[in-house]
Amino acid sequence: MNRESLFALVAHRLGEDSPTLAHCVATERCMMALAHRFGEDATQWGLTGLAHDLDLNECEPDLSNHTLIAQKVLEAEGAPSEMIAAVLGHNNKGPRNTLMAKALWVVDPTTGMITATSLVLPSKNVADVQVKSVKKRMKDKRFAAAVNRDQIRACENDLNIPLDDFLHLCITAMTESE
Ligand SMILES: [Fe+2]
């Protein structure tokens, strides 16, 4: 499995211009940045981020099968077991017992919060998002209410990265992806 073939597969299932595909690419970029920080395999971490929601369109609105379909697709593609486990783990369909699985768990809602914060800016540009703005939005429970704040704050315990550093890393990674 390479990046090109996985992107084609994910784009086909989610739609070329879909927000979910953009979310998967944002997650890919953040996962790669985290892998670099930890000295881990950035290629594998990136592919895991890119793949993590590949079945979301076909699962909605009932998300009980979410990541279980992705598991079958990824197995057929010969994806590594660690990658599949992380994808399952991000939807509570398996344990998150690797650093990569923990990272995906934390990155997923964080990209959502950063994107939502960018969309209320006049420029609607992630590059203009500031860490303090994201933190302020996180305190407003009505803003992007579906995004789990505790899951974002898990960067401190699960990844040992302070929230400010983590948000900065993700904003920077997402900006590079644009
Ligand atoms: Fe996601």
Taking only the tens place, the pLDDT of each residue in 151-169 is 999 999 999 999 999 999 9
> Does the pLDDT of residue 178 top 80, yes or no?
no
CA atoms within 13 A on the CB side of 116: 19
Note the Cα 37 to chain centre separation in Å. Answer: 16
Q: Of the candidates 121, 106, 104, 119, which has an alpha carbon nearest to the alpha carbon of residue 51?
A: 104
Residues around ion ligand 1, judged by CB within 5 A, are: 53, 108
Cα(106) to centroid of ligand 1, in Å? 10
Cα(132) to centroid of ligand 1, in Å? 23
Number of domains in the chain: 1
Q: What is the average per-residue pLDDT within 121-138?
A: 97
> Does the pLDDT of residue 177 top 60, yes or no?
no
Cα(24) to centroid of ligand 1, in Å? 6
pLDDT band for position 50 (cuts 50, 70, 90): very high
pTM of the model: 0.96
Q: Which of residues 62 and 103 earns the better pLDDT score?
A: 103
CATH number, domain containing residue 30: 1.10.3210
| Gap between the Cα atoms of 66 and 64, Å rounded | 6
CA atoms within 13 A on the CB side of 125: 7
Q: What percent of the chain has pLDDT over 70?
A: 99
Alpha-helix residue ranges (DSSP H) falling in 39-130? 42-51, 56-59, 68-76, 81-89, 99-119
**Tell me, what's the pLDDT at 170?**
98
**Tell me, what's the pLDDT at 113?**
98
Cis-peptide into 95, omega within 30 deg: no
Q: What is the average per-residue pLDDT within 13-27?
A: 96
Which domain range does residue 33 map to?
3-176
**Tell me, what's the pLDDT at 63?**
86
